[in-house]
Amino acid sequence: MVSRRSWVEQIMGLPISVLARGDGADSAEAEAAVRAVFAELVEVDRVFSPYKADSAVSLLARGEVAWDRVDPVVRDVAERCDTARELTGGLFDARVPGGTWDPSGLVKGWSVERAGARLWEVDDVDWCLNAGGDVLVVCPSDEPFTVGIQDPRDPGQVLATVARTAGAVATSGTAARGAHLYDSRSGDPVETRWASVSVTGPSLEYADVLATAAFVAADDWPEVLAVLPGYEGLGILADGNLFATPGWGGR
C-alpha cells in the first residue's frame, strides 16, 4: 500500500493543507519540508495581510511607510502585480477603489508556489498543496491527483474534477467570499452570470491571476486565458451549467 500523510494549518484566514503520497511520505524530510512551507506562508501573511495593522500593506495604505522603505519582497510583488495588470488589460488590478493597494489576488498563488518549491526537494513523494481551493500539484510518479471543483451553489459538493500530475488549479468566484471583486476599468463591483471560473496551468501564480481576470471579464473569460500558453478553464454558471475550454480535460 502506498503511504499517505496529510497536514493542515489555518494561515491567511483559510485552511492550507498538504497531502503527501509515496515511500517518503512519513519521512523526517517530508515533515521538515511541510513545516518550512507553513512557516514561509505565515511570514507572507505577516507582511502582506491587509487585515494586520502592522503589515507592509497596511502601513502603505495609511501612508506610514514609503515604497523605498519596504522590504524588497514587497516591491517584487508590486512589480508582479503591475505585470499582471498589463497582461490582462486591467482585468486584474491590485489597486482597489479608494486608491489603496491590495495584492491579495496575486499573493496567495505566488506565495504558495514559492513555498511549495520546498516540497520538490523530497525524494519519492507526490505532493498536493491546497490553499483554500487553489491547488499546486507535483507528482514525480506521474500518477495524478484528482482535484475537485467546488459547486459554488453548494460549497459542500464537488461539481467537476480534473486530474493533474503537475502544475496548478485556481478558482475565482463568489462561493467563499461573496461579491468581493471589482472591475478596475469602471470601479464597479463585478456583475456576471458566472458563479466561478477555474483555471489550470503550469504556474499557480498565473493561474490565480488569470482566474481573477477571467471572472471579471464575465462572458469574455475564455479569451482571457489565451494571453498565456498552457492555461485552460472551466466556467460554472449561476444555474450550475458548465462550459470548458477545449483543453480543459476534466470531468
Q: Which DSSP helix (H) or strand (E) runs through 79? A: helix 72-87
Please name each of the domains of the chain with its CATH number.
Answer: 4-244 (3.10.520.10)
In tens, the pLDDT along 117-160 reads 999 999 899 999 999 999 999 999 999 999 999 999 898 899 99
Least confident of 138-152, 164-178, 201-215: 164-178
CA distance 104 to 136: 17
| pLDDT > 90: percent of the chain | 84
CA distance 127 to 34: 10
In the predicted structure, residue 179 carries a pLDDT above the cut 60: no
In tens, the pLDDT along 71-121 reads 999 999 999 999 999 999 999 999 887 778 999 999 999 999 999 999 999
CA distance 202 to 230: 7
Q: Which DSSP helix (H) or strand (E) runs through 9? A: strand 4-11
Task: Please name the residues in contact with 128: beta carbons below 8 A apart, sequence gap of 6 or more.
Answer: 18, 19, 21, 135, 136, 137, 145, 147
Single out the residue of 9, 187, 184, 230 nearest to residue 84, CA to CA.
Answer: 184
CA distance 100 to 61: 6
CA distance 179 to 240: 17
Least confident of 64-68, 171-175, 235-239, 246-250: 171-175
The pLDDT, as a whole number, for residue 178 is 44
pTM of this prediction? 0.93
Inter-CA distances, 142 with 23, 164, 165, 236, Å:
14, 9, 6, 29
What would the grid cell of residue 221 be? Answer: 473569460
